Amino acid sequence: MNEIGKKVTVDLYSAQMKWVAWYLPIVYVVYFVIVWFLNEPDIRAMSLLTFTFQTATIFMLVCGILSSLGFLPMYVKHGVTRKSYFQGALLSSIGLSITIIGITAIMTWIISLFNMNLFTEVVLSSLGENNWFLTIISYIIVIMIYFLVGWLVGLGFYRYGGSGGFVSIMIGFVIVTLNDLLWAYGTPKPFGVFNLNIPAPHVSIAIVGSIVIAAIVTILVHKVVKETPIKVA
Q: Report angle CA 162, 16, 76 to the nearest 5 degrees.
A: 55
Q: What is the pTM of this model?
A: 0.89
Is the Cα dihedral 2, 7, 10, 11 positive or negative? Answer: negative
The string of pLDDT tens digits covering residues 7-29 is 999 999 999 999 999 999 999 99
Assess contact for 97 and 143: CB atoms under 8 A. Answer: yes
Whether 80 has a pLDDT exceeding 80, the answer reads yes
- 29-38, 64-73, 147-156: least confidently modelled range: 29-38
Cα distance between residue 176 and residue 43, in whole Å: 24
Instruction: Give the type of residue at 10.
Output: V
- Count of CB atoms situated within 10 Å of the CB of 180: 21
What distance lies between CA 32 and its chain's CA centroid? 22
% residues pLDDT > 70 (the chain): 82
With CA atoms as reference, report the closest residue to 135 among 173, 109, 172: 109
Res 41: pLDDT: 63
